[in-house]
Amino acid sequence: MPEYPTSIGTSTPDSISLLGHDLASELLGQISFGELAYWLATKRRPTPGQLRMFEAVLVSLADHGFTPTAIAARLTYYSAPDSLQGAIAAGLLGGGSRFLGVTEDTGRYLHDAVATFGDTEAWTDADWDDAALVVLRKGKAAGAKVPGLGHPVHKQGDPRTPVMFALAEETGMKGPHLRLFEAIGRVHPEVLGRTLPLNGAGVAGAALADAGLPIDLLRGFALLARTAGLIGHLAEERETPIGPTVYAEVDRNARYTSPDVTGG
Amino acid sequence: MPEYPTSIGTSTPDSISLLGHDLASELLGQISFGELAYWLATKRRPTPGQLRMFEAVLVSLADHGFTPTAIAARLTYYSAPDSLQGAIAAGLLGGGSRFLGVTEDTGRYLHDAVATFGDTEAWTDADWDDAALVVLRKGKAAGAKVPGLGHPVHKQGDPRTPVMFALAEETGMKGPHLRLFEAIGRVHPEVLGRTLPLNGAGVAGAALADAGLPIDLLRGFALLARTAGLIGHLAEERETPIGPTVYAEVDRNARYTSPDVTGG
Amino acid sequence: MPEYPTSIGTSTPDSISLLGHDLASELLGQISFGELAYWLATKRRPTPGQLRMFEAVLVSLADHGFTPTAIAARLTYYSAPDSLQGAIAAGLLGGGSRFLGVTEDTGRYLHDAVATFGDTEAWTDADWDDAALVVLRKGKAAGAKVPGLGHPVHKQGDPRTPVMFALAEETGMKGPHLRLFEAIGRVHPEVLGRTLPLNGAGVAGAALADAGLPIDLLRGFALLARTAGLIGHLAEERETPIGPTVYAEVDRNARYTSPDVTGG
Amino acid sequence: MPEYPTSIGTSTPDSISLLGHDLASELLGQISFGELAYWLATKRRPTPGQLRMFEAVLVSLADHGFTPTAIAARLTYYSAPDSLQGAIAAGLLGGGSRFLGVTEDTGRYLHDAVATFGDTEAWTDADWDDAALVVLRKGKAAGAKVPGLGHPVHKQGDPRTPVMFALAEETGMKGPHLRLFEAIGRVHPEVLGRTLPLNGAGVAGAALADAGLPIDLLRGFALLARTAGLIGHLAEERETPIGPTVYAEVDRNARYTSPDVTGG
């Protein structure tokens, strides 16, 4: 007989078990949705500090206004209002390398670097600065970009960044990923020859890594956060739609040029 | 010039505004992800009671084990491990009438009934029972099914149901939708001739309605909750995959019969 | 043991059977993709007339320029260029009631009417006109819209319509659905008080029904046709992208108004 | 004013232009759906040979039985029967690196090799064998896998392969990609030390490249082909569903083990 292993949950006619706990008597009304999301992804209950950081990251990533993915979701809802799930799915499908990738790319970049450091427990800021210089120089020699550095709008500093660092300090969650990222923020002008802000989406990746979330699923948390944002956009699309205007504007300003049809 | 109205958020080079508040100084680290999700969907900040119920509902809906949608997400991840967003989207696309519909259908059913009642502020349980009888009889005459009544596994009672009612009582959030659903739970044997449990997913719909969430988006909250569950399933699929076994089993037990090919 | 029945195909180490035929020796290079698509959907090989109409319908539905679904697919590709399947899926998800629904709605409307007619083999155009009047009057009394009537751009006549009717005549495929739709085109001014063109997407629905395709899957053929169109749009997006401009324009013309935040 | 360039199509109140041709008078009923799909993707009308190969490839890729993607589509349809587009989209979302990747990977592998060869017009089979040996040895030294070599079921030879080569010969479409792949089929035992069949999905990639389709969109054609297969599966799912059985079997054979809950 085939077997389908799982540790997520199971149920009997009179009980539902989730993550080794009784859903009704131990979880419902007692943990936040964010806590459950963390727990489901890791099979570990977060510490208060981990949870605080995780919820803050989700809040920071939930919405970025009229992103291409929000517009795609609204256009899909306009075309197929009978399928809310389709509109949300369409919005999430844009969660790839270009727009949601910063969080994941930064987390992985820092993770790969930190993995080579050995014990950093006693490192001072100066030690982190030295390490950051090594990482940045190695990357520069290889022609690699530093993910999470720079922001198209917040050129003088992403307002989320200092708040997330302060929160990590306060909760005791400033681990090696945030420390290295912070050091990169301090020393990169020396290597790159110009000063760039630490992107809030990059800080999110570092914070998730320090909060114990798996590197390979960082994109997933950005998608979870974005699901809440997409519901907000679709709720607003019901009241003050932009889909019809986007469509009309693209159609109106279409510039048709005949294809160079070979053999046509 | 076209205009694209929005009240969700806006940003300047040095600030990000979300829902009329400064993201960095007023929201980050200060509200839970669940609170933000509520706020985004309604443009209203939830009261503590509303938030408590909303988070409890999300927790109750996040995972139901190996549902068809969880299996579909895992199979998609197995086929296309390079696109986490595709696997999550595939899982959400099953969030339609059959599997995620109970929450929405129950909420709407109760909402439509409640809308006909006038002021129910002073109603006693007996008043609600009378109203429930009227609703059930009218539905029976029309041959309509009562959504949210009955559960394929929890035949003697869904363990989530009493906890959700107790929580609503405790938080002062037992409004007309939950009251009517509770009354339906009491009186339906008289009309239907058999006793069925109140489904937890149905209670979720009633609770969301009483917590002030828009009826037309109830499915969206089930989808948000399920996104967390799907991330859990995909995290587990990375460790102990079931996709290959599902595929092998279906393939191995395929029973091929020749089509009746006309003109073939 | 569970059994998974199928008549689509099966394979052994040295052969592949599809629809009861040997793929390699009987199908490859011998049937068109359109013929296979028809055959897969119906388990019947199409007659030459059915195939000709089916391919014509697919050609007529493949592309409609910068539709909301094409724009959504392009925006998704812009956000996640690493997942072509995600961009195509996002485009298809808009294939719901509003934009791709005309084909399906018209097919079903005609099908439901035709099902009440009995044997129409010997009907003359005058008989069809009488039947159309009855159908239209019944619909008007019930306040129902006639699907497939009218077009936002082609107000004086959809250029696809006469060609599709001529093709159906030529191939002997003008069955009851097209005949009734044609009659509706003749007599509706008498009932509705104004003259509207027969929409090409509606004709497509009637033609698919007459060509023997299942009514419940008509939307599927519109989606198949649209997949080819979406690939065209994504190929073009690689060369001359519009995604970044759509995003920039919406962002630039966003009009932010503060939400009425209760308790915020 | 923004401009949205396109050469796909345009329309006026009384005409529709597609790819520089009048849809109604020049295309409808005159070209196959396969021809239009080729044309849309390349902006070039295919030659008869290119079209014959393109349609044959689509036929060869349309269905592979109960693949993970077909099962995912069926499960999604079972959960959300109200959204055919969602079920098709879910099926396509599995069209990633593992299951639909062979066509794309093989095409790109051959394309990259061929690009280094210069003029191969006058090459004999012996020349191609020499070239294949160089390519294979270079790949072996780099530890790279040869895509399109080997098949899990058709271990002694994929039945599609010889037919596709014969068809390419017959239509004059055996270009450098197919020739190199054929040579790899002849000489790889010398380098790899074992004999593997040329996979039909790999041949499809080579054939598409020789037929002039863009390498970067090869996955798209596999997805187009698969859309027809998915419609076949969903049509069958309506008649003889497997979704409920897959669900029941996974649920029945779930093996629950308690998570190692830290701090839980």
Cβ distance of B82 and C85 shorter than 8 Å: no
Beta bridge partners of D149: D198
Torsion sign, CA atoms B85, B90, B96, B101: negative
Cβ distance of A85 and D83 shorter than 8 Å: yes
User: What rounded mean pLDDT belongs to chain B?
Assistant: 95
- Chain A residues with CB under 8 Å of B86 CB are 93
B183 Cβ neighbours under 8 A, 6+ residues apart? B125, B128, B129, B131, B132
Cβ distance of A85 and B6 shorter than 8 Å: no
Cβ distance of B93 and D83 shorter than 8 Å: yes
The type of residue at C126 is A
Nearest to D228 among C6, C33, C154 (CB): C33
Give me the residues of C, 234-263, that contact B with CB < 8 A: 249-250, 253-263
pLDDT score, position C261? 52
Pairing of strands A9-12, A15-18: antiparallel
**What pLDDT tens digit does each residue of chain C (264 aa) get?**
899 999 999 999 999 999 999 999 999 999 999 999 999 999 999 999 999 999 999 999 999 999 999 999 999 999 999 899 999 999 999 998 788 889 999 999 999 999 999 899 999 999 999 999 999 999 999 999 999 999 988 999 999 999 999 999 999 999 999 999 999 999 999 999 999 999 999 999 999 999 999 999 999 999 999 999 999 999 999 999 999 999 999 999 999 998 865 444
- Chain C residues with CB under 8 Å of A80 CB are 93-100
**What pLDDT tens digit does each residue of chain D (264 aa) get?**
899 999 999 999 999 999 999 999 999 999 999 999 999 999 999 999 999 999 999 999 999 999 999 999 999 999 999 999 999 999 999 998 788 889 999 999 999 999 999 899 999 999 999 999 999 999 999 999 999 999 988 999 999 999 999 999 999 999 999 999 999 999 999 999 999 999 999 999 999 999 999 999 999 999 999 999 999 999 999 999 999 999 999 999 999 998 865 444
CB pairs under 8 A between A and B: 278
Q: Which of A68-72, B38-42, B153-157, C77-81 has the least mean pLDDT?
A: B153-157
Cβ distance of A90 and C89 shorter than 8 Å: yes
pLDDT score, position D178? 98
Torsion sign, CA atoms D207, D208, D211, D212: negative
Cβ distance of B262 and C86 shorter than 8 Å: no
Q: What is the mean pLDDT of residues B22-50?
A: 97
**Chains with at least 3 CB pairs less than 8 angstroms from chain A:** B, C, D
B48 touches chain A (CB under 8 A): no
Nearest to C6 among B10, B43, B256 (CB): B256
Tell me C46's DSSP state: P
Q: State the nearest Cα–Cα gap between B98 and chain D, in angstroms.
A: 5
Q: What's the number of CA atoms in the CB half-sphere (13 Å) around residue A241? A: 15
- Dmax over Cα atoms in chain B, in whole Å? 72
Structural contact between residues B73 and D70, judged by C-beta atoms closer than 8 angstroms: no
A29 touches chain B (CB under 8 A): yes
Torsion sign, CA atoms A28, A34, A37, A41: negative
N-terminal to C-terminal alpha carbon distance within chain C:
58
Q: What's the number of CA atoms in the CB half-sphere (13 Å) around residue D216? A: 12
Q: Give residue A97's pLDDT band: very low, low, confident or very high (50, 70, 90).
A: confident
Q: What are A165's two structure tokens?
A: 């660092």
Cβ distance of A82 and D86 shorter than 8 Å: no
D7 touches chain A (CB under 8 A): yes
Give me the residues of C, 56-115, that contact B with CB < 8 A: 80, 82-83, 85-86, 89, 93
C1 touches chain B (CB under 8 A): yes
Q: What is the mean pLDDT of residues A171-199?
A: 97
Residue B197 reports pLDDT greater than 80: yes
Q: State the nearest Cα–Cα gap between D44 and chain A, in angstroms.
A: 5
Q: What is the mean pLDDT of residues A77-95?
A: 96
Cβ distance of A65 and B229 shorter than 8 Å: no
Cβ distance of B20 and C258 shorter than 8 Å: yes
Cα C49 from Cα B60, distance rounded (Å): 55
Q: What is the pTM of this model?
A: 0.96
Cα A60 from Cα B182, distance rounded (Å): 38
Nearest to B264 among C4, C20, C249 (CB): C20
| CB count in 10 Å sphere of residue D143 | 6
Residue B202 reports pLDDT greater than 90: yes
Structural contact between residues D19 and A261, judged by C-beta atoms closer than 8 angstroms: yes
Q: Give residue B264's pLDDT band: very low, low, confident or very high (50, 70, 90).
A: very low
Residue B230 reports pLDDT greater than 70: yes
| Closest residue by Cα to residue C12 from D105, D156, A50 | D156
pLDDT score, position D258? 87
Domains located in chain D, CATH noted: 102-213 (1.10.230.10)
Tell me C17's DSSP state: E
Cβ distance of C154 and D11 shorter than 8 Å: yes
pLDDT score, position B100? 81
pLDDT score, position A55? 98
A22-76 pLDDT, tens digit each: 999 999 999 999 999 999 999 999 999 999 999 999 999 999 999 999 999 999 9
* ipTM attached to this prediction: 0.96
Q: What is the mean pLDDT of residues B61-85?
A: 95
Give me the residues of A, 189-208, that contact D with CB < 8 A: none
Nearest to C231 among D52, D217, D236 (CB): D217
Residue A264 reports pLDDT greater than 50: no
Q: State the nearest Cα–Cα gap between B100 and chain D, in angstroms.
A: 8
Structural contact between residues D107 and D206, judged by C-beta atoms closer than 8 angstroms: yes
Cα B184 from Cα B135, distance rounded (Å): 9
Nearest CA in chain A to B22: A159
Q: Give residue B96's pLDDT band: very low, low, confident or very high (50, 70, 90).
A: confident
- Chain B residues with CB under 8 Å of D75 CB are 68-69, 71-72, 75, 94
**Chains with at least 3 CB pairs less than 8 angstroms from chain B:** A, C, D
Nearest CA in chain C to A65: C251
Nearest to A242 among C65, C83, C250 (CB): C250
Q: What are A103's two structure tokens?
A: 């969080």
What CA dihedral angle connects D100, D105, D108 and D109, to 10 degrees?
Answer: -160
Cα D37 from Cα C229, distance rounded (Å): 7
The type of residue at C163 is V
Cβ distance of A86 and D82 shorter than 8 Å: no
